[in-house]
Amino acid sequence: MAPSLGERSISGLQADRVARIRALPTAELHLHIEGTLEPELAFELAARNGIALPFDSLDDLRSRYEFTDLQSFLDLYYECMAVLRTRDDFRTLGERYVQRAFEQGVRHVEIFFDAQAHTVRGVNAEDVLDGLLDALETGRQRGMSGGLILSFLRDRPVLEAMDTLESLAHRAADLLAVGLDSAEVGYPPQLFVPVFARAKELGLHRVAHAGEEGPAEYVRDALDLLGAERIDHGVRSLEDPELIKRLRDERIPLTVCPFSNVRLAVVPDLTKHPILDLLAAGVLATVNSDDPAYFGGYLADNMAGLAEAFDLGDDVLVRLARNSVEGSFASVERKAELHALIDEWARGGGGELLG
């Protein structure tokens, strides 16, 4: 019997199936904290900081969430984050994400932040960092581990990225990794070789967006030239069979973002998403939300969307959850704890979130 409207979620799955997927413990490895800015919070922070947003209402802002490509999204994303100014703002933003993510099963999170997008507006980079660390501490008290990834904007000057890294070098112990994001095509990884070399010297992990809109070659260059340990998106790697073999053999994780790929027209719709092809090729692919406030859902929503699009059973969901833990920078001990939580879910338990 078809589910009634009240039993359906946004994914179209039965409500009890969605609740079970939301209870699956996962690690979120590809999440831009600025992309969690929900319209309500944007207006709240605008009022708090006396900033006028160029939108008449929540609905007016929501009506702009129609994107044709990455750049059309980035234009709105940078415009909205102008409301973020103080340590308190970043703490609030981070805590709202942590709350939502926890409700979606996320038990470990590695959060990107775009420091340059704030410092160019006169915001202190350490206020951004400290506010987000406050939020991670709130998460930790609830049993969610995690860390922060300082992400460089590849469409801004390389020297600015280097200055940003140096300005936070004395806080390296508060960072987990560096990353590379924003407009991809025309901004190849090799531009950022010196910045990533310095990050390595500082003892930071290195990840990079590549193969989202850009070619498979950018994925290879991110690995070879930047020393990236993980690739964000990477879906275009499938255009290069040799690269796919390498990703599989070297167990290089891909942080795949299904809803993002649909909303930014990287793939035509969820049923055409290549995540199962990546899994079938033996690649350590994970599911992530990227910019959930803009793309229609958080991590478990992405999982539920895939479950519906491909009629996935628990076995595939468990594999994706295990990949997320495996692909994380969590300690061996923490990974073991997270795998044990997944074991419990697979046995039919782990349902404290059901209800």
For ligand ADE (CB under 6 A), the number of binding residues is 11
Residues 4-43 that bind ligand ADE (CB under 6 A): 32, 35
Please report whether residue 110 would count as binding Zn ion according to CB under 5 A.
no
**Residue whose C-beta lies closest to Zn ion:** 290
Please report whether residue 230 would count as binding ligand ADE according to CB under 6 A.
no
Q: Give CA–CA dist 235/256, Å, rounded.
A: 7
Q: Give CA–CA dist 263/249, Å, rounded.
A: 31
Interface pattern 70-89 for ligand ADE (x via CB under 6 A):
x------x------------
Please report whether residue 263 would count as binding ligand ADE according to CB under 6 A.
no
Nearest residue to 274 via CA among 257, 289, 290, 291 = 257
Q: Give CA–CA dist 258/296, Å, rounded.
A: 11
Dihedral sign (CA 208, 320, 93, 337): negative
Annotated catalytic residue 212 = yes
Catalytic residue among 95, 110, 184, 212: 212
Please report whether residue 290 would count as binding Zn ion according to CB under 5 A.
yes
Q: Give CA–CA dist 291/245, Å, rounded.
A: 29
Q: Which does 212 bind (CB under 5 to 8 A by kind): ligand ADE, Zn ion, none?
A: ligand ADE
Q: Give CA–CA dist 150/132, Å, rounded.
A: 11
Q: Least distance (Å) from ligand ADE to the CB of residue 122?
A: 21
The set of residues, in sequence order, having a beta carbon less than 8 Å from that of 172 and lying 6+ positions away, is: 202, 203, 204
Please report whether residue 181 would count as binding ligand ADE according to CB under 6 A.
yes
CB–CB of 290/257 below 8 Å? yes
Q: Which does 35 bind (CB under 5 to 8 A by kind): Zn ion, ligand ADE, none?
A: ligand ADE
Q: Which of 110, 127, 291, 301 binds ligand ADE (CB under 6 A)?
A: 291
Query: Which residues of the chain form contacts with ligand ADE (CB under 6 A)?
Result: 32, 35, 70, 77, 181-182, 209, 212, 260, 290-291
Catalytic residue annotation: 212
